Homo-oligomer: A and B are copies of this chain.
Amino acid sequence: MLLASMKVRSVLLVLTSLLAGAIRADEGMWLYSAPPREQIKAKYGFELTEAWLEHVMKSSVRFNSGGSGSFVSAEGLVITNHHVGADDLQKLSDEQHNYLRDGFYARTAADEKKCVDLELNVLQSIEDITARVNAAVPASATGDDAAKARRRVMAEIEKESLDRTGLRSDVVTLYQGGAYHLYRFKKYTDVRLVFAPEQQAAFFGGDPDNFEFPRFDLDICLFRVYENNQPAKIQHFLKWSRQGTKEGDLTFVSGHPGSTNRQYTMAELEFLRDTQYPYVVPRIKRIEVLLSNWSARSDENARRARDELFGFQNSRKVYDGRQNGLYSAAILAPKVAQEKSFQDQARDRANGAEVSAAYDRIANAVRAQAKIYKNYRMLEGGHAFMCDSFDLARRLLRAAEERPKPNGERLKEYGDARRESFELSLFSDKPIYTDLETLTLADALTLFAENAGFDDPLVQQVLAGKSPRERAAELINATKVRDVAFRKKLYSGGAAAVAAAKDPMIELARLIDPTARALRKDWEANEELRQQAHNVIEKARFAMEGPARAPDATFTLRLSYGPVKSYEEDGKRVAAYTDFAGMFARNAEHHNKEPFDLPARWMDRKAALNLKTPLNFVHTPDIIGGNSGSPVVNTAGEWVGIIFDGNLASLVLDFAYEDVHARAISVDCRAIIEAMRKVYGVDPLAEELLNGRRK
Other CB < 8 Å A-B pairs besides A281-B450, A298-B590, A328-B467, 13 of them?
A: A274-B455, A285-B286, A288-B289, A289-B316, A292-B292, A299-B591, A324-B469, A325-B467, A327-B446, A327-B454, A327-B463, A328-B470, A329-B466
How does the 8 Å CB contact mask read for A443-478 relative to B, with 1 for contact and 0 for none? 000100111011100000001011111100000000
Q: Are A327 and B449 in contact (CB under 8 A)?
A: yes
Contact of A208 among B278, B281, B293, B327 (CB under 8 A): B293
Write the chain B residue with the least CB distance to A289: B285
Question: How far does the alpha carbon of A274 sit from the alpha carbon of B449 in the complex, in Å?
Answer: 9
CA–CA, A52 and B259, complex, Å: 71
A450 touches B289 (CB 8 A): no
Shortest Cβ distance from residue A593 to the other chain B in the assembled complex, whole angstroms: 8
Q: List 29 A-B contacts (CB under 8 A).
A: A207-B293, A208-B293, A270-B454, A274-B453, A274-B454, A274-B455, A277-B450, A278-B451, A281-B450, A282-B282, A282-B286, A285-B285, A285-B286, A298-B590, A324-B442, A324-B467, A324-B468, A324-B469, A325-B467, A327-B446, A327-B463, A327-B467, A327-B468, A328-B467, A328-B470, A329-B465, A329-B467, A330-B467, A594-B594
Bound complex: CA A270 to CA B453 (Å) = 10
CA distance A325 to B446 in the complex (A): 11
Please report A residues at the B interface, Cβ cutoff 8 Å: 206-208, 270, 273-274, 277-278, 281-282, 285-286, 288-289, 292-293, 296-299, 313, 316, 323-330, 442, 446, 449-451, 453-455, 463, 465-470, 590-591, 593-595
Tell me the bound Cα distance from A274 to B469 in angstroms.
Answer: 18
Chain B nearest CB, measured from A249 CB (Å): 31
* Residue from A270, A285, A299, A591 having most chain B Cβ neighbours under 10 A: A285
For chain A, what secondary structure do more than half of its interface residues adopt (helix, strand, loop), or is it mixed?
Answer: helix
Shortest CB distance A609–B (Å): 26
B residues in contact with A323, CB < 8 Å:
446
Query: How near does chain B come to A463, taking the closest CB pair, in angstroms?
Result: 7
Name the distance in Å between A371's Cβ and chain B's nearest Cβ: 15
Q: Which residue of B lies closest to A453 (CB)?
A: B274
Residues on B with beta carbons closer than 8 Å to the beta carbon of A451: 278
Closest residue of chain B to A210, judged by CB? B293
Taking the closest CB of chain B, its distance from the CB of A535, in whole angstroms, is: 29
CB A583 to nearest CB in B, in angstroms, measures 17
What's the Cα separation between A176 and B330 when bound, in Å? 50
| Complex CA distance for A467 and B277, rounded to whole angstroms | 15
In the complex, A278 Cα to B293 Cα: how many Å?
A: 20
Closest to A591 in B: B299
Q: What is the distance, in angstroms, from A306's C-beta to the closest C-beta of chain B?
A: 15
Q: How many angstroms from the CA of A286 to the CA of B686 in the assembled complex?
A: 44
Nearest chain B CB to A589's CB is how many angstroms away?
8
Tell me the bound Cα distance from A449 to B454 in angstroms.
Answer: 26
Q: How far is the CB of A273 from chain B (nearest CB, A)?
A: 6
A525 to chain B, nearest CB (A): 26
Residue of B nearest to A455 (CB): B274
- Cα distance, A268 to B616, chains bound together (Å): 57
8 closest Cβ pairs, A-B complex: A328-B467, A208-B296, A278-B450, A282-B282, A285-B289, A208-B297, A285-B286, A327-B467
CB distance from A587 to the nearest CB of B (A): 14
- A594: chain B residues within 8 A (beta carbon): 593-594
**Given A288-B289, A289-B288, A450-B278, also A595-B328 (CB < 8 A):** no
Residues of B within 8 A of A330 (CB): 467
Given contacts A288-B289, A469-B324, A470-B328, contact A296 B595 (CB under 8 A): yes
